[in-house]
Every structure is written in structure tokens, then in C-alpha cells.
Chains A and B, each alone.
Chain A
Amino acid sequence: MIVKFKLNGKEIVKDVPVYKRALDFLRDDLGILSVKEGCGEGECGACTILVDGKNVHSCLMLAVELDGKEVITVEGLEDKIIQNAYVEAGAIQCGFCTPGFIISTKALLEQNKNPSSEEIKEALEGNLCRCTGYLKIEDAVKLAAKMYNKGSDER
């Protein structure tokens, strides 16, 4: 089936088998390697992508469901504010789950410019990490919020 959608700002038109998962379509056919398969059943969040501004698990989605949608992955984030905040907060270990966290952070900060600790916990509950213990990730989200807000103050 032909799918037409916007990936990181670029129009994609591609023939894709109806059984193919969005995750495999992105990784294997479109070379979007930031999207990782951690569990394949929507539990870990390593495959999180933004679809029309919502963070979703691409392992639970079919490629054909992307039709007509706007998709953003880590490769397509315009600024690197969230990434820089994660670096500065030291919120990274093996990095396998991190692109998923970045996307969920983006989804949160788009909705909520000053999230509380509780709101961060809730927003990132669908993303699991086995290395970091989560504490620095929370710091990174707060730092990213601060960096965004500072940026908009200056403007």
C-alpha cells in the first residue's frame, strides 16, 4: 500500500506491505536509526516517535497508519535543546532508550512549559531505562524546560 506522510519535515511517498510495523519501516526502509526496538510490545518506549505531536510506540503501529500524518523522530528535532540538556545533566548511560526519552520530553514540553516533578514522572512513565535510575533524566527535563523558557524570554 502507498503511504504518504511527512517525516521530519520531508514528504515521503512509499509503497509498504500492510503487515509492516512503523518501527521496521522507519529503521529498515527509511534509515531512521534513532528509533530502537527494546521490547516490541509497547512496554519500554525505546521506539517512541512523535505522530501529530503525540508520543507513541512505533512498535505497536503499522506503517500504513502513518498515512497522512506528521512524524518527528530525534533526527528531525529542529533545535538540540533537549539533547544538550541531557548532556549537561549527565542523564545518559548506554543511550539505547534515550531517543525515546527525548521524544517523550519533547511531547511533554510542547504541552507544558514548566512541568513539576510529578508531571515529569507521569509523562515519562511509558519510557523505561535500566541504566540511569531516572534521577538525572528528571533533572534533564527540568533543565530543558528552563533552556526553552530562557530562549523565549530573550525573544
Chain B
Amino acid sequence: MKEVTRKIPKKDALGLLLGKPVYTDDLAPKNSLIVKLLRSPHAFAKIKNIDISEASKIEGVECILTYKDVPRNPITRAGQGYPEPSPHDWYILDEYVRYVGDEVAIVAGKDEKCVNEALKKIKVEYEIFEPVLDFEKAEGHPSIIHPEKETHPMFEIGFDAQKNIAASYEMEIGSVEEELKKCDVVISERFYTQAQAHVAFEPHTAASYIDMHGRLIIISSTQVPFHVRRIIAEAFDIPIKNIRVIKPRIGGGFGGKQAVHGEPFVAAVTLKTGKPAKIVYTRQEVFEATYSRHPMRYDITLGASKDGKLKVIDMKGLSDTGAYGEHALTTFMVAGSKTLPLYNKVDAVRFSGKVVYTNKVPAGAYRGYGAIQGNFALESAIDMLAEKLGMDPIEFRKKNMIREGETSPIFKIMGEGREGVDMIVRSCKLNECVEEGMKLINWKEKFPRKKISETKYRGVGMAIAMQGSGIANIDMGAAVLKLNDDGSFNLLIGATDLGTGSDTILAQIAAEVLNVPTEDIIVYSSDTDLTPFDVGAYASSTTYVSGNAVKRAAEKMRKLIIKEGALKLGLDESNVDFDGKYIYEKNGSKKVSLKELATVLLYTENQKQLIADASYVGEESPPPFMAGFAEVEVDIETGKVKLINYIAVVDCGVTINPNLARIQVEGGLVQGIGMALFEDVKYSPNGKLLTNNLMHYKIPSRADIGNIIVKFVESYEPTGPFGAKSVAEIGIDTPPAAIANAIYNAVGVRIKTLPITPEKVLMSLNNK
């Protein structure tokens, strides 16, 4: 392979490094009205009266909009397939405010100063209700967070607003109760994960204006431009044809931008005033009023025979979706569907539980998407079971984990929001990942612990994980290739590069098929007017789903080039081939260069534009796998945990661009390490998020993460483009469980609530 598997630099790298104007705020029209939002100071209230008269008088203020001024169509902000598996429970503005930070009014003016002043002058009278702040008490709480009658699910998702239930799910294969009776060893444990924040460095930003045709143009830092177009059309009752959404470069997403956030507010201002408008969220707003990860609780029961066969897994969950049910059902189901198949030889397995509303920051999509929550619980519990059995945790896993060529009934039963797809795992080098990781961390030497000093112990721990590659039978990506007169190609894709480098790897895939240098593929992505449809960047879909679409489009283009080349040479198509530079006679001397053919096709002979398109929907979602190994040093005097080494061995199929695959895993690991050790979420008693800035919400810096080694095992996924699977999410999944297991192995305390802070470790040590 020439272009695929090469470490080509990201196509946009130098432009970004030179600080070129490429992000939404850089590109917003210079005369944009500044838009800001008045946000609720109460966790749950109804607006009794809202007076904007004083605020409207401030010089420079152009418009102030309240719930009385905007359409009231129930939508979901979640950018998922359509119809969405998230309840339609959100309104552009509503008379109810359901968390501290919920939107009350939209203010637009000529500069920040006048808008800030106006925000202070809006007088709101609230009827305050008792908020639901504890997700374990949400079901059946006297306060009903969504009492309004318009809120509804798009199809059956176990929704019951009267009980504060956004979604619920239950499945069982075999009989858990019966099989548990036959087990020699049983453990039951409870685990909690926290509402991790994404902290993409570009805050959520959107701009809008009306073009010369009277259409609404939105520039947005979004992961899902086509979903944004559909949702905005629905929210404002305007035809899809009158909206264009452009995603320029964006400063990270991680799921936090898999939704509409600022777009409806700038759209409301532009539609009202006819003027350009922009909103740039403050960091505090990003924390308080966009998305977090769904905090979850899992009660896990595992049963095994004394020879170490895992026989039963029972996971009962409770998930907190905050004030709106975005990605509620799907993140919950993924906690099962992307963990349970790891142990595919059990006799009975059950996954059940509810996703509840609370008056807290809404939870949404976040890298890992439920899998990391489920993984922390399951992979911690597996270590606890192995210990009870007196088995090495790795030996126990190797005996029970999934292997290449096997399947799991979970694939068919649990999809995302609905039934899944039956599939055989065609590529699974999990065993190799485990073996390699053991070697790299020197497991045999280090397990379980080493005493470093009177107060410090080092321990090793590990976890295995899987993710998916797009959502089978739902996620669709399309690509168009267009030949230019110099023999270069425009690649138009709906796929959405969040900074990951997907534009580059998709170009590499096209270049590989056409046998041309990647530099000859000019990529334009994510513009609903100019690029074909793609669901967007989520569910680890771009390499696999959009990549397959690009591969097919390039194969079509190759055929077109051969066809037109044969015509030009006066030969039969079967006699002609194309090597990337020339279209040539197979057993002869006639040839024409691609450049010459391209030029005459446009200007002189047999004139036409060569253009090829293709779409792809995965019939399967081949999981990438990995094994993560942590070595920690625990100070028993302070409870401080220092991460010494983290080894990640990954099977993501063929790496289209090994450099970009590696940095995806490295970045994922560090986010997972942050979730495991640092990223603590705290609320005040009345429901205000206290960890609402980077001083109080600590994400890892370079100094916090120790030594990290990422390695890829050789693997080939037959259904993927050139053997590739996904790599975007898998890296985040293992650190919480692997680090928790390592801490246990080091000092014998089992922390079951994330993050694992020194306080928790020290308290557990003291209670030991």
C-alpha cells in the first residue's frame, strides 16, 4: 500500500499552526450582533413574569427574546439518527427552567458591553420548585421535571415523564437467577461514575446570517452539521431547503458538540432581525450549560464456577441524564452492548435499568458513550471475582474473553436505542493485546505489588475493552469525487473532522484506490449545501463508515477514468488500465496521461465532468479492542496516586495513518486517566455546578500522566476500508478500571466511585 498506512501529516496542520482564521469565531461576519443568554439561577422553576422593558432601552441592544417570542416545538438537541432515540423534551426557550444555567432569554446587541448590561436589567419573577438533585431519588420524586404535555419520545424507549424517567431498558439471555444458583463463587458490587466534562478547547460557537437568497446560513463548531440543519428546521418550522450549515475547523468535540447548542439562539436573532449574529460560550457556560457525561451507577453480580469459568453477568444500572434526555437511552444501552460481548461464553446475562431526569446539567454524548461507565464497573468486578476465585486476573480474562471468529448474542439484541445486528467478530486480536501488554509492563515481575519505601507501594492492574465502528444499519456516510483538469480530485464529504484528522485519512483512502499522491486529493467537508450527507462524527464511525463510502466512490472514479481513457485511446475498456498517472493499453504502447485526459474531457473532446459518488451504511459494527495496563504508586500517608506507566495495546484493524491513530489513542487515554483520577464534579446544595472552571475542574496536564506507551497489534478487518476499524473512542475506556485495579493491587483498597481522589484512597486505607 502506498498512501494508506503512511504517517502523512494532517492536511490542515500547517494552517492551524500558523494561526490562520479557520474556526467559527474567526469566520463569523465582522458586523455580527453579539448574542448572550440570560440563564436560570434556579435548579427548577417556572417563569411567572419576565420584564425586558428596562433592558431593551439600553443603547446598542437590538433584540431580547423570551419564550413568548420563539416557536415552541418539542425537539431533542441530540444529533443522532432520525427518528431520534432521545425524547423530544427541549424547547428553544420555555416557561420552565430545569437546571441552573438553563436558558431564560436571548439578548443581542452591538457589543458585549451593552449585552452584558441588558442581561442584568432583565427582571424575572420565578415560582421556585423543589429540585431533584439526587439521581437515586429521582424516580417518583414529587417534583416532575417535565410536566408539559408536548414532551414525547419518537418511539418506545421506556419513557415515563410522570416518574422522571427519560428511558428504560431490560434484556435477559438465559436465566440469571437459575444460573447463579449453580455458581460456586458469586460477587455483588456497586459502582459509580461521575459527570465528566468534555473540555474541548474551542468553546461552543455559532454564527448565522441571511444570504442573498434569503436563506439562513449557520456556521457552527458542530460534530453533526446535517443533524443541526434538520433540528433547526424542526425547531423554527422552516424548510430544510432554506438552511445551510457549515462546519469550519473545530476545536475538539469529544461528543460535546454532537448536538445543537448555540445554533438556535443565533438563528432566532438572525431570523428576527435579519442581521448576522454570533455566540461564543464562555468556559463557565460550557461547563454549566452544555453537556457532561452521564453519571451512572451499576450493581453488578458475577457468578463463576470454581475452575474459573464466568457463568453469569448481571448489570443493573441507573443513569442520570440531567434536565434533558439527550442520548439517554443510547448511552445507557452502550454501557451493556460495548462491554458484555467481551465475555461471550456466559450461560446467562442480564442488563437492565433506568435513565432518570434530574435538575442538573444535561448529560449527552461523550467519547466512550456509556462504554467507559460500564467498563469501569465490569472490569473492576472481574478483578474482584478473580481474586475471590484465587485466580490471576489476566488468566481469568483469557479463559473467558471473546476471540476472533466468535460472536455474542448481545450484538443482535442490544443496538443503540433499538435492536442490534448479528455479527461474527472477524477481527479480534484481544489475546495478542493482552500478551503484548503483559510483556511491556513486565506483569510477571510487578504483579501485584512492590514496596518502594515505608510509605509508598507500586501496583499494576489492567482492563480490557471494546467499542464499535459506527452504528450498524443506521449511520450513513456519502462521498463525491470530482476530477479536475490537472488530474487532481476534489473529495467532497459530509464527514466531520473535529481535529482528529479524518479529512486526511479519507483523502489517503481515496488516493490509495486511485494510486495518486494524497496531496492530489483536495478535501472539502461538512457543508450541507456542498457536500453529500453524512451523519457526522460520532460513534467511532468516520474511518469505517465514511471511509468505506470514500473507497467506493474512488473505485467508481477509477472505472470512469478507465472508461473515458479507453474511448480516448480508441481501445476496448478491457484492454486498458490506469496506474494513477497514465491510462494505458495493457499489451501495447498506447497511453494518455490522466492530466491530458482530464483537460480534454473538460475542454475539447467528449466533454464531461467526471464525478463519482457513493454511500455506505455498515451492516456490521466491527469492534476495536484493547488491553490497558496501569502501574501506579500509592502514598499510604497521603492517599496520593501517581501514575507511573500506562500501556495501551490496541487492535483497531489496519491503521490508515499510524501517526493519527496513535495520537487518537494517546488523547483518549489521557481523558480516561483524567476521569479516573482528577476530574471531580461538585454541586452546591441548591444545584449549582461548583466545578465550573478549569481551576476547580482539573484536567490532566503533561505533568500528571506519567509514561504512556501505545502499541498497535497487527490486525485486518475484512469489512473495513483497507482493513481498518475505528480508533476514536477505544482509547478512553480502560484507564478507570485498570487504575482502580492497580491501586487495589498496590495497597488493597478498592475504590468503586470515580474519580479516585487521594481523599477516597486515604479514607479507605484508614478504614481497612
Contacts and interface: CB of A to CB of B under 8 A. Distances in A.
B667 A96 contact: no
A93 B18 contact: no
B17 A94 contact: no
Contact of A96 (B202, B501, B695): B202
A125 to B, nearest CB: 5
Contacts of A132: 663, 666-667
Contacts of A128: 201, 694, 699, 701
A87 B701 CA distance: 21
Given A38-B283, A125-B701, A94 B18 contact: no
B675 to A, nearest CB: 12
B215 interface: no
Interface in A100-139: 102, 120-122, 124-125, 128-138
B703 A121 contact: yes
A99 B13 contact: no
Contacts of A35: 19
B499 A33 contact: no
Interface string A25-61: 0000000111111111101101000000000000000
A41 B695 contact: yes
B17 A98 contact: yes
A94 B201 contact: yes
B660 A130 contact: no
A68 interface: no
A25 B694 CA distance: 23
A33 B23 CA distance: 9
A129 B662 CA distance: 16
A74 interface: yes
B680 to A, nearest CB: 16
B182 interface: no
A95 B21 contact: no
A88 B282 contact: no
B9 A87 contact: yes
Contacts of B22: 95
B252 A130 contact: yes
B466 to A, nearest CB: 21
Given A96-B252, A124-B702, A128-B694, A90 B17 contact: no
Contact of B252 (A39, A131, A136, A137): A131
Contact of A88 (B9, B199, B705): B9
A40 B112 CA distance: 15
Nearest to A82: B17
B16 A90 contact: no
Given A37-B203, A121-B703, A130-B200, A95 B669 contact: no
Given A94-B249, A125-B701, A33 B201 contact: no
A131 B702 contact: no
Nearest to B659: A90
Contacts of B270: none
A102 B695 CA distance: 23
B249 A74 contact: no
A43 B663 contact: no
Interface SS of chain A: loop
B498 interface: yes
Contact of B250 (A91, A94, A122, A125): A94
B254 interface: yes
Interface in B686-715: 693-695, 699, 701-703, 705, 708
A83 B203 contact: no
Interface in B477-527: 498-501
A133 B667 contact: yes
B26 interface: yes
A33 B283 contact: no
Contact of B663 (A32, A34, A90): A90
Contacts, number: 156
B251 interface: yes
Nearest to B670: A133
A99 B702 contact: no
A78 B743 CA distance: 49
Contacts of A34: 18-20
Given A90-B659, A121-B703, A131-B499, A36 B694 contact: no
A65 interface: no
B598 to A, nearest CB: 30
A83 B201 contact: no
Given A38-B203, A93-B499, A93-B501, A99 B670 contact: no
A90 B9 contact: yes
A12 interface: no
Nearest to B701: A125
Given A46-B201, A88-B9, A98 B16 contact: yes
Contacts of B665: 133
Most chain B beta-carbon neighbours within 10 Å: one of A32, A43, A83, A138: A43
A138 B703 CA distance: 11
A71 interface: no
A136 B663 contact: yes
Contact of A43 (B14, B19, B23, B694): B694
A123 B611 CA distance: 50
Contacts of B20: 33-34
Contacts of A74: 17-19
Contacts of A88: 9
A75 interface: yes
B12 interface: yes
Most A CB contacts (10 A, CB to CB) among B251, B254, B498, B708 go to B251
Interface string B655-675: 000011011011111110000
Q: Which of A41, A94, A122, A131 has the most CB of B within 10 A?
A: A94
Contacts of B671: 130
Contacts of A22: none
A72 interface: no
A88 B7 CA distance: 10
B10 interface: yes
Contacts of B693: 39, 41, 43
Interface of A: 32-41, 43-44, 46, 73-75, 80, 83-84, 86-88, 90-99, 102, 120-122, 124-125, 128-138
7 contacts: A80-B18, A93-B252, A93-B501, A93-B667, A95-B12, A95-B22, A95-B251
